[in-house]
């Protein structure tokens, strides 16, 4: 049975990609379109991680670590789910 926006919400969840990662509910929306728009922002975030340094230069790796920490802190859903790379939209009906 298909539900409409009036009797459902649309939940965006971070879904695990590593063994042991549990799905994490992130945000609910009144429409699928809004949920999918935010899902797109979450996916876009992972397109531009800091570049891995080449070689053994400790200064390069220290700078990379700082960039990675800042990048994770800027995650649209928060640092706690910044290592998740899959985000799904689930329709949750009311009144069941």
pTM of the model: 0.77
Using the predicted structure, report yes or no on whether residue 76 has a pLDDT greater than 70: yes
Rounded distance between C-alpha atoms, residue 20 and residue 94, angstroms: 30
Phi, psi of 47 (to 5 degrees): -75, -25
Q: Which residue has the tokens 């949750």?
A: 92
Q: Which of 4 and 95 is assigned the larger pLDDT?
A: 95
By residue range, what is the domain housing residue 56?
5-93
Q: How confident is the model over 22-39, as a mean pLDDT? A: 95
Number of domains comprising the chain = 1
């Amino acid at each position: 049975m298909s539900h409409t926006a009036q009797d459902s919400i649309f939940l965006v969840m971070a879904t695990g990609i590593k063994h042991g990662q549990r799905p994490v509910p992130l945000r609910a929306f009144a429409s699928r379109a809004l949920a999918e728009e935010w899902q797109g922002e979450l996916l876009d975030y992972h397109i531009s991680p800091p570049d891995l340094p080449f070689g053994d230069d400790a200064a390069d790796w220290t700078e990379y670590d700082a960039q990675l920490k800042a990048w994770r802190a800027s995650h649209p859903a928060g640092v706690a789910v910044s290592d998740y790379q899959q985000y799904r939209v689930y329709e949750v009906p009311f009144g069941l």
